[in-house]
Amino acid sequence: MAIPEEAIRRSVELFGSGYFCAESVLLAVAEDLEVRSELIPRIATGLCSGLGRTGGLCGAISGAVLALGLAAGRDGPAQPVEPIYESVREIVGGFESRFGKTTCAELTGCDLATDEGQRQFLQTGQRETCAEYVGVATSLVFAAIARRS
């Protein structure tokens, strides 16, 4: 399976249109997989902005993990978890290798829970940097799916 460049562009486009990081990654992957649900991207919203502006895990990574589960998660308790966990570690490791960090607070340098931090985010052009995070996270999902095939 080749990494679908159009899906990567789509995730960045979605982010630019007003969806947030986790929503954009999940929605772009779901569209590529032709998965339709009223729950997508809703289930990703709380994961955006570093776990709801707590400074936690980057929302692009969180969305990537949700998207991986959509593509390759378990269907029941009898199935093993280790294959998907291995893929999650590959996604997180690949992201950290590329950017050096995995939390929203470290990646953006902003406290998004505050008005000042949100202003700083916008004034420093961080949204464009986060668009790159979204594209890379989307790419990492498809790479993980390809390795599982």
**Tokens standing for residue 46:** 């709380």
Q: How confident is the model at residue 2 (pLDDT cuts 50, 70, 90)?
A: confident
Q: Is the pLDDT at 30 greater than 90, yes or no?
A: yes
Residue 13 reports pLDDT greater than 70: yes
Residue 108: count other Cβ atoms within 10 Å of its Cβ.
23
Distance of CA 31 to the CA centre of its chain: 14
Tell me: pLDDT of 125 over 80.
yes
Question: How would residue 135 be classed by pLDDT, with cut points 50, 70 and 90?
Answer: very high
Phi, psi of 77 (to 5 degrees): -70, -15
Helix, coil or strand: residue 54: coil
Look at the block and give the residue holding tokens 């949100």.
118
Say how far apart CA 70 and CA 77 lie, in whole Å. Answer: 16
**Domain total of the chain:** 1
Please report the DSSP string for 110-135 in residue order: --TTSHHHHHHHHHTTHHHHHHHHHH
Q: Is 57 helix (H, G, I), strand (E, B) or coil?
A: strand
C-alpha span between 7 and 105 (Å, rounded): 27
Helix (H, G, I), strand (E, B), or coil: what is residue 52?
Answer: helix
Mean pLDDT of 131-142: 98
What integer pLDDT is reported at residue 47 of this predicted model? 98
Q: Which pLDDT belongs to residue 148? A: 83
pLDDT tens, position by position, 56-111: 999 999 999 999 999 999 999 999 999 999 999 999 999 999 999 999 999 999 99
Q: Where in the sequence is the domain holding 51, given as residue range(s)?
A: 5-148
pLDDT above 90 (res 45): yes
pLDDT at 1: 63
CA distance 90 to 3: 15
% of the chain at pLDDT higher than 90:
96
Residue in this structure with the two tokens 């992201």, named with its chain if needed: 95
